[in-house]
Amino acid sequence: MVLDKVKVLEWHDDWIVHSARWQTRVPAVIMLNTYQKPKHTMRLSKRNIFLRDAYTCQYCGTSVTETNATLDHVHPVSLGGKTTWENSTTACKHCNYRKAAHVGKMKPKIAPYKPTFWDLVAKRRVRGYHMGHPSWADYLGV
């Protein structure tokens, strides 16, 4: 906003930030002035792996939440496994503890894979959105 790279479409009514000599309302929705080409690869993160697996333990099939889900390495790191899309899966704490650092003891029901941007977008839509501001609904198509 300060560098004039965005246009503010909606403002928060009751949120103002201050500095020593300046204050401004906080934007709720902004639009970039120049087109940013979307990334074709998704960032590897716990949250994206949980989303790819639909917050479901890949060993027992139970539904998990962000607080009780764990990231499991199909081929354990202690045995040379890497943290990649193809080696990481969602597990409940009980299954992750039971599997421990063993190879072949338990296999995920669905083999881990590298999702596309649109795979994760579709799964995010199914889970729903947290609307930080009511005007977001107009722009997210909800």
Q: How far apart are CA 43 and CA 131, in angstroms?
A: 23
82, 104 contact by CB (below 8 A): no
Convert the pLDDT of each residue in 51-63 to its tens digit. Answer: 999 999 999 999 9
Distances (CA, A) of 66 to 42, 49, 77, 126, 132: 19, 11, 22, 16, 19
Which residue reads 């899966």 in tokens?
89
Domain range annotation of the chain: 1-33, 46-121
Class of domain 46-121: mainly alpha
* DSSP-derived 3-state class of residue 12: strand
Helix (H, G, I), strand (E, B) or coil at 97: helix
Give the C-alpha separation, 113 to 27, whole Å: 37
Per-residue pLDDT of the chain (142 residues; tens, 9 = 90+): 778 899 999 999 899 999 999 899 999 999 999 998 877 788 999 999 999 999 999 999 999 998 999 999 999 999 999 999 999 999 999 999 999 888 888 999 999 999 998 899 899 888 887 787 888 888 777 6
What is the C-alpha to C-alpha distance for residues 64 and 86, in angstroms, rounded to an integer? 20
Record the pTM: 0.76
Tokens of 67: 């607080």
And the tokens for 56? 């479901």
- Distance CA(108)–CA(58), nearest Å, equals 5
